[in-house]
Amino acid sequence: MQSRSGVFLVFEYAQHDLATLVDDHHAKHGRSPFKPSEVKRLTLQLLDALHFLRSMHILHRDLKLSNLLYDHRGMLRVADY
């Protein structure tokens, strides 16, 4: 979005980053918040996202759980690239 005073970036809201989600859930329950099938689904989403970035000649140099955003629909988003 652009206005006379500048350019504004508007992003879809994601409720959590994976680092906080995993740490908070593990502290409360002593285990991961994800079942193995969910880990597989999230891994495939991450690989698809990285493949797309690579196809656009973009290299993410700081890939970590806190840069993976997780929304209310269970969709993963790569941030800070």
Query: What is the pLDDT tens value at each position of the chain, 81 positions in all?
Result: 667 888 887 888 888 999 999 999 999 999 989 999 999 999 999 999 999 999 999 999 999 999 999 998 999 999 987
Cβ distance 67 to 53 under 8 Å? no
Q: Identify the CATH class of 14-78.
A: mainly alpha
Q: What does the domain layout of the chain look like in residue ranges?
A: 14-78
Cβ distance 49 to 67 under 8 Å? no
Report field, pTM of the whole predicted structure over 0.85 = no
Rounded Cα–Cα distance for residues 27 and 80 (Å): 26
Tell me the one-letter amino acid at 63.
L
Quick one: pLDDT at residue 66? 95
Q: What residues are labeled active site? A: 62
pLDDT, one tens digit per residue, over 28-39 is 999 989 999 999
